[in-house]
Amino acid sequence: MDRYPLIPWPRSLAPREGSFALDGATLAVGSAELRELGATLARHIREISGIGVGVGGSGSMSLALDPSVPDGDEAYILDVGADRVELRGRTGRGVFYGIQTLRQLITADGRIPAVRIDDAPRFRYRGLHLDVARHFFPLDFLKRYIDAMSAFKLNTFHWHLTDDQGWRLEIRKYPRLTEVGAWRTETIIGHARTGAKRYDGTPHGGFYTQEDAREIVAYARARAVTVLPEIEMPGHAAAALAAYPELACTTGPFEVRTTWGISEDVMCPSEATFSFLEDVLREVMGIFPGEHIHIGGDEVPKARWKASAVAQEVIRREGLGDEDGLQSWFVRRIERFLRANGRQLIGWDEILEGGLAPNATVMSWRGIAGGIAAARERHDVVMCPQEDLYFDHYQADPQAEPLAIGGLTTLEDTYGYEPVPPGLTSAEAEHVIGAQGCVWTEYMPTPDHVEFMAYPRALALAELVWSPREARDSDSFRARLRPSLALLDRLGVRYRPA
């Protein structure tokens, strides 16, 4: 299989003798819709082999849309013989993925090994997350992040835009969210859990204008990636409270946090909070066309609600019983709002507590129990258990690695993860729509550091969400890793060397 160094491994691959020579080849593009993809393929060929192929109406290579390609919008069929290359996709996304496959097959001396590949993903949600709240990252880095994701057929960029330590998206109706909420005075040095706390004395911050965010959405869309925006509520909201203290149950003062962990201060379930959130979400929906909107929902301490007359009155009025019931009511109310606007709510597994909102999709991060419970209730689930898919954990012996939050999740651990938990019926398993790697950046102040943590583990993730379960083989994966790392080198990604 050395001739086909593909990650993720395709659904079906039939080797053939011989190879196609790119020298003198021409590329035919079957429809106007594919013209840009044709130009992209020609550019990849030039980058890898130095060979220029002409793009036109006929040729020894062809790209085409073909509604008969089986198994969904992301499927493609790639036929390579000694004298021709044919790539057909049911949609442009299928063709895009076929091009990613070609990109991994083309050799530096300008050949493509002959082969027939019939490919389609196992899961429809194939995600990689990035926390830009704990540290802010520039647009050109986000583009490289999306480039690398898409080269390995990941299709959802979960953009964690708000948290206690920073609010990173311009909201026109509430300018203080970024005037105040996007900046913290300084940042803790070293691990937040150890001894005496020291701070760096340096302000940190930044935010994305709506135009920036639209640019990222368009950039991602051209690479078959959907952007999933996350606006955290009612917890992880200290930056929003610093900007608009009236959203809290107490008078504060609040500050954009300078250390990590969980804040006791959360949004109060008042009418003022709901109209704020609906305004914010309206602007968010205007920027992000994807079906899902992530509303966070994790780690909501209940002390402020216990002591708040406003919160207690809602519990009494609505007959919610306790603060868990109130959290569930809070999420249900937001879910209704999103649904009325044609969107679907997604939240961390804490949104199960006190009862799940109808139609909510759950991201299972505290292990797999939340995912199992949600799938049994026939709710869609994205699996991202921290033990296997948190790329902020150490990936090797902590003694020899840069400071990380903790844990140990090796490349093998990630590769060995199976997204469909045991014990689900096949109807329940249908609700596991995919999996995601999470990159929380408390301990990753720079783009280089993010890439060091995300790769190569994201390559293991890419295979487990795309390839058939029975095709997964860790020796084979290891053998295919080196050429994929070379591709990351070409993309300028500073992965952790194997």
Between 167 and 440, whose beta carbon lies closer to ligand TNX?
440
Residue 465 beta carbon to ligand TNX: minimum distance, rounded to whole angstroms: 19
**What does DSSP assign to residue 23?**
T
> Collapsing DSSP states into helix, strand and coil, what is residue 144?
helix
> Is residue 391 a contact point for ligand TNX (CB under 6 A)?
no
**What does DSSP assign to residue 250?**
S
**Any residues with CB less than 8 A from the CB of 88 and at least 6 apart, and which?**
63, 64, 65, 66, 69, 76, 77, 94, 95, 98
Residue owning tokens 């400071």: 403
Between 97 and 391, whose beta carbon lies closer to ligand TNX?
391
Residue 369 beta carbon to ligand TNX: minimum distance, rounded to whole angstroms: 14
User: How far is it, in rounded angstroms, from Cα 468 to Cα 336?
Assistant: 36
Binding mask 331-370 for ligand TNX (x = CB under 6 A): -----------------x----------------x-----
User: How far is it, in rounded angstroms, from Cα 157 to Cα 148?
Assistant: 11
Residue owning tokens 């097959």: 105
Residue of 208, 288, 390, 391 interacting with ligand TNX (CB under 6 A): 390
> Is residue 219 a contact point for ligand TNX (CB under 6 A)?
no
Between 111 and 393, whose beta carbon lies closer to ligand TNX?
393
Residue 289 beta carbon to ligand TNX: minimum distance, rounded to whole angstroms: 24
User: How far is it, in rounded angstroms, from Cα 323 to Cα 353?
Assistant: 10
Catalytic residue among 119, 163, 164, 428: 163
Residue owning tokens 């795309």: 466
Question: Contact at 8 Å (CB) between 146 and 491?
Answer: no
**191 catalytic, yes or no?**
no
Between 71 and 299, whose beta carbon lies closer to ligand TNX?
299
Between 237 and 320, whose beta carbon lies closer to ligand TNX?
237
Q: How many Cβ atoms are within 10 Å of 406's Cβ, its own excluded?
A: 14
Catalytic residue among 299, 353, 387, 412: 299
User: How far is it, in rounded angstroms, from Cα 329 to Cα 322?
Assistant: 11
Show contacts with ligand TNX in window 130-189 (CB under 6 A): none
Residue 403 beta carbon to ligand TNX: minimum distance, rounded to whole angstroms: 14
Beta bridge partners of 453: none
User: How far is it, in rounded angstroms, from Cα 443 to Cα 30?
Assistant: 48
Between 78 and 444, whose beta carbon lies closer to ligand TNX?
444
Residue 121 beta carbon to ligand TNX: minimum distance, rounded to whole angstroms: 25
Number of residues that bind ligand TNX (CB under 6 A): 9
> Collapsing DSSP states into helix, strand and coil, what is residue 26?
strand
Catalytic residue among 135, 158, 160, 236: 236
**264 catalytic, yes or no?**
no
Cα torsion for 227, 228, 232, 236, to the nearest 10°?
A: -70
Q: Give buried/exposed letters for 452-491 (b at 16+ CB in 10 A, else e).
A: bbbbbbbbbbbbbbbbeeebbeeeebeebbebbbebbeee
Residue 363 beta carbon to ligand TNX: minimum distance, rounded to whole angstroms: 7
**299 catalytic, yes or no?**
yes
> Is residue 299 a contact point for ligand TNX (CB under 6 A)?
yes
Name the residue among 90, 116, 83, 123 with its Cα closest to residue 101.
116
**Residue 487 backbone class (left: φ over 0; alpha: ψ -120 to 50; beta: rest):** alpha
Between 147 and 299, whose beta carbon lies closer to ligand TNX?
299
Between 244 and 348, whose beta carbon lies closer to ligand TNX?
348
Residue 270 beta carbon to ligand TNX: minimum distance, rounded to whole angstroms: 24
> Is residue 394 a contact point for ligand TNX (CB under 6 A)?
no
Between 219 and 455, whose beta carbon lies closer to ligand TNX?
455
Question: Contact at 8 Å (CB) between 235 and 266?
Answer: yes
- What are the C-alpha distances in Å from 47 to residues 2, 35, 51, 59, 149? 21, 19, 8, 20, 19
Strands (E), 120-192: 125-131, 156-160, 162-163, 166-167, 183-184, 188-189
Residue of 323, 388, 392, 428 interacting with ligand TNX (CB under 6 A): 392
Residue 366 beta carbon to ligand TNX: minimum distance, rounded to whole angstroms: 8
> Is residue 451 a contact point for ligand TNX (CB under 6 A)?
no
> Is residue 440 a contact point for ligand TNX (CB under 6 A)?
yes
Residue 128 beta carbon to ligand TNX: minimum distance, rounded to whole angstroms: 14
Using CB atoms within 10 A of its CB, is residue 64 exposed (0-12), middle (13-18) or buried (19+)?
middle
> Is residue 298 a contact point for ligand TNX (CB under 6 A)?
yes
Residue of 149, 231, 295, 405 interacting with ligand TNX (CB under 6 A): 405
Binding mask 256-295 for ligand TNX (x = CB under 6 A): ----------------------------------------
Token pair listed for 28: 């035919």
Binding mask 71-90 for ligand TNX (x = CB under 6 A): --------------------
Which parts of this chain interact with ligand TNX (CB under 6 A)? 298-299, 348, 365, 390, 392, 405, 440, 442
What is the set of active-site residues? 163, 236, 299
